[in-house]
Structure 1
Amino acid sequence: MSSLAFMRATLGPVLRLMFRPQVEGAENIPGTGPVILAGNHLTFIDSLILPVCCERPVYFIGKDEYVTGKGIKGRAMAWFFRGAGMIPVDRDGGRGGVAALMTGRRVLEEGKVFSIYPEGTRSPDGRLYRGRTGIARLTLMTGAPVVPFAVIGTDKIQPGGKGMPRPGKVTIRFGEPMEFSRYDGMDRDRYVLRAVTDSVMTEVMRLSGQEYVDMYATKAKAA
Structure 2
Amino acid sequence: MSARKDKQQILDLLHNDNLAEMQQALAKFAAKEVVNTLFAAICRSEEQLRWHAIAAMGWTVSQLAEQDREEARIIIRRLLWSLNEESGGIGWGAPEALAEILCQHHGLAEEYVHMLLSYMRPDGEEAHQDGNFLEHEALQRGLLWAAGRLAQGQQDLVLAKGMADDLPQYLDSPDATVRGLAARAIGLLGSCPCLEKLRQLTADQATLRVYDQGCLNTVTVGELASQAVANLQ
- RCO greater where, 1 or 2, for CA within 8 Å and sep 6 or more? 1
Larger strand percent: 1
Give the TM-score of the pair, scaled to structure 1: 0.30
**Relative to total residues, which structure has the larger helix share, 1 or 2?**
2
